[in-house]
């Protein structure tokens, strides 16, 4: 499937973005401007990346640098969602989740050591870790602030600060894994994910496409599980920001 690049594509994209922003505004969700900004950024970023990728994938070094840049952007984005001065620590959760899983699939040869193969897999894993980390971090700190009394009560019962914080924030932060779980549970029944379609359109047989998508989904579960657990631990130890009300 090749999307024709031309005026028609531009008009359709503009119309869809405008409709989405209008609906959000009419629904009083207060995110109408963000919808337009996100659509605009996506257009500019994908246009630039499409041109850059052709150069990057010619070199393993440039590919590694590009992946590192993706991790930095993911950290900044997740930290912005957590919205605490020390939230840049979420980068440890993202890298800690992605690095071992990516190294495993490369070391076993399941993903060939070619830039054109490594780059998209790394991007998918980093994106998943970013989303899970941002959700877990934000929910953990919100719970610690909103349920401060319960935290103090746990301390009064003799729990250490870390353990008291975990009791309060862990259940809510664990919900960050729900999107990945739902995507894995319903694959093939509700959606045909991008990796499956991409491999299929690339000429591979359906079994190979399914195996590739399964590898990505299970890898994402592992990455996000590590990222969420690390984020909860950081939040409980106060590394992401204060766990007490000012």
Measured CA to CA, the distance from residue 142 to residue 160 in angstroms comes to: 20
The three-state secondary structure class of 126 is helix
Exposure letters 14-36 (e unless 16+ CB within 10 A, then b): eeebeebbeebeeeeeeebeebb
- The reported pTM is 0.80
| pLDDT tens sequence across 109-137 | 988 888 888 988 999 999 999 999 999 99
pLDDT at 196 over 90: no
Q: Which residues pair with 191 in a beta bridge?
A: 187
pLDDT at 246 over 50: no
The three-state secondary structure class of 187 is strand
C-alpha distances (whole Å) from 40 to each of 13, 47, 126, 128 are: 10, 11, 22, 22
For the chain, give every domain's residue range.
Answer: 1-56, 59-236
Q: What is the DSSP letter of 4?
A: P
What tokens does 30 get? 């207060």
Average pLDDT (60-85) is 88
Q: Is 158 left (phi over 0), alpha (psi -120 to 50) or beta?
A: left
- Give the H/E segment covering residue 196: helix 194-201
**Residues 134/81, Cβ–Cβ less than 8 Å:** yes
Average pLDDT (60-84) is 89
What tokens does 203 get? 């000429």
Q: What is the DSSP letter of 243?
A: S
On average, the pLDDT of the chain sits at 83
């Amino acid at each position: 499937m090749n999307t024709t690049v031309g005026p028609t594509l531009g008009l359709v994209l503009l119309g869809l973005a405008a409709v989405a922003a209008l609906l959000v505004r009419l629904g009083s969700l207060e995110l109408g401007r963000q919808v337009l900004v996100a659509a605009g950024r996506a257009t500019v970023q994908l246009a630039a990346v499409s041109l850059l990728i052709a150069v990057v994938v010619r070199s393993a070094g440039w590919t590694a640098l590009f992946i590192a840049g993706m991790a930095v952007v993911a950290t900044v984005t997740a930290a912005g969602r957590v919205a605490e001065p020390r939230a840049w620590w979420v980068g440890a959760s993202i890298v800690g989740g992605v690095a071992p899983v990516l190294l495993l699939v490369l070391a076993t040869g399941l993903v060939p050591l070619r830039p054109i193969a490594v780059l998209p897999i790394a991007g998918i894993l980093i994106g998943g870790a970013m989303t899970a980390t941002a959700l877990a971090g934000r929910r953990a700190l919100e719970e610690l602030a909103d349920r401060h009394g319960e935290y103090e009560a746990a301390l009064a019962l003799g729990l250490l600060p870390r353990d008291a914080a975990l009791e309060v924030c862990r259940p809510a932060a664990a919900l960050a894994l729900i999107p990945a779980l739902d995507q894995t549970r319903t694959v093939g029944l509700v959606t045909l994910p991008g990796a499956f379609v991409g491999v299929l359109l690339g000429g591979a047989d359906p079994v190979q496409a399914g195996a590739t998508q399964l590898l990505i989904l299970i890898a994402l579960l592992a990455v996000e599980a590590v990222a969420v657990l690390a984020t909860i631990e950081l939040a409980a130890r106060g590394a992401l920001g204060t766990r007490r009300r000012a």
